[in-house]
Amino acid sequence: MNNQSALALIQQCEFDLQRIDLIIQALGSTNNAVPYVTKYAIIKVCGTLEQCFKTIISDFSCSGQSSQVKKFVDISFRESSINPNLDNIHKSLKKFDEQWNDNFKSLLSADPDVARIRTSISSLNNARNEFAHGGNPTITFTDVNAYFIDAKKIIEFIDQSLV
């Protein structure tokens, strides 16, 4: 991955997921605490994906720019709240450069697992939104982990799309 900050965020999230998995193993999958750590994992993963896609776009677009441009991008994009779903990713890329979005679409559609990747990021966002709005998502920690593995490809595609 070109963006080292995004890579560090991904690696930290992977480490956190490994620790959560150890907690679940120690408690046993039927322990009453497991749904709570699973909900934490959902929020951690979605937050990581959001920070990664905004970091990659912001860092690339601010390279060599004035402090004023950097401040504008930071305030209007990097520090904004954007769910990391595919629609928002496409919109964000297009706001900066149509070609970036076209590149991203090409990379995503060329992946042999594109349907699963789309389902995974959608499932993560749906679970996050359900929990954030008072609901009780039913996905398991195993699901969250598998969805994150797929969603990381989206981050890699964004990173490869900016030229």
Instruction: Identify the domain containing residue 61 by its residue range.
Output: 4-161
pLDDT, one tens digit per residue, over 28-82 is 999 999 999 999 999 999 999 999 999 999 999 999 999 999 999 999 999 999 9
Q: Burial of 130 by CB count in 10 Å (0-12 exposed, 13-18 middle, 19+ buried)?
A: middle
- DSSP string covering 21-59: HHHHHHH-TTSTTHHHHHHHHHHHHHHHHHHHHHHHHHH
Q: Are 155 and 10 in contact (CB under 8 A)?
A: yes
State the virtual CA torsion across 45, 51, 54, 55 in degrees, nearest 10.
-130
How many domains is the chain partitioned into structurally? 1
Q: Is the pLDDT of residue 163 over 90?
A: no
